[in-house]
Chain A
Amino acid sequence: MDSQKYHKKEIARTQLHTAILLFLQKEEFASAITLAGAASNILGQFVKIEGKKPFLDYARDIHNHLIGNIPGRASYNHHIDKKLGVSFLKHMNSDDAEIIELDLKDCAAGTIIRALNDYTKLYGSDEPLVKAFYNWTWKNMNGPLMMEEYRNSGFREKK
């Protein structure tokens, strides 16, 4: 087989689909985290190219609303990657711990939610796999309560 050109948007889309499948089939959460994390890095960039607000900037706005300052893009991205376990699964320096404490399922759900936030700005949310994942979150992450908390927070996204 010869070399072929692949668009990065499609590469990210394929990896995110695989991550959602691994998650919904409860097959393997560590891989779901790594794949959704990889997809996120690429999708966020395309959202920016299309003149829309990527998840990272949305998260920085929430930080500003809750804490009162806007963190730097690179440092906040790194912070989120660490919180979601992404960094622990693909990097290891000579002085890093060999043992980590994580809720793998929770982190996998979080990384997919982050990636889907950018994905739906590019592709919409009508695909069956996307709907299946959102249905899962509504049922398993207490969607009604989350929406109530959002309404009460007073935060509204600036477009």
Chain B
Amino acid sequence: MKLNIHSRVKLACQQFETAVKLFLTGGDRFSVITLAGAADVIFCQTLSRRGIQNLTQYIADTKKDSRPIGKIGREINDLLHINDLKHMDDQSDVYVDMNLEECALGAILKALANYHALDERNQIFVDGLKAWVKANLDPSIYNVNCDPNWNSKQN
């Protein structure tokens, strides 16, 4: 056995970067969601310890949502089916009804916002994803240019 010391945020970055590689190369979408979801838990906690706002807190502030942050975070995770892909108990349905591609993209973009705020990030992955977003997503639905004054036509 070769025990080594690891920083948990660095291991989370590795998991997120593997999720991005799988996503950009058309790999297994279930694994993209599970890895991005796991990494994001550690990103959120790390940002909170460093006094930096994470995406869930930002959403709560913007939407003036006063519910506990944990509850809002769980709601977002359930929307992306993050827990369905890693848990099953006696009461669980054996089927998961989901838009796999959209959930994979959502899990990646949610974690990306938090990954971007970390000193440990690898800018190549951020730039790669931004380029993918610009090339593949509808600019009337997604803010592909990261414009702070942009409004979705879906609203």
Contact = CB atoms under 8 A, between A and B. Distances in A.
B102 A106 contact: no
Interface residues of B, number: 47
B71 interface: no
Contacts of A106: 1-2
Interface string B81-112: 00011111110101111111110000000000
B31 A15 contact: yes
A77 to B, nearest CB: 12
Contact of B30 (A15, A92, A105): A15
B126 to A, nearest CB: 18
B142 to A, nearest CB: 15
A15 B22 CA distance: 12
Nearest to B86: A38
Contacts of A93: 45
A-B residue pairs, 7 tightest by C-beta = A38-B86, A90-B38, A92-B45, A31-B18, A18-B31, A45-B88, A42-B88
A89 interface: yes
Contacts of B1: 103, 106
Interface stretch (B8-16, B130-138, B146-154): B8-16
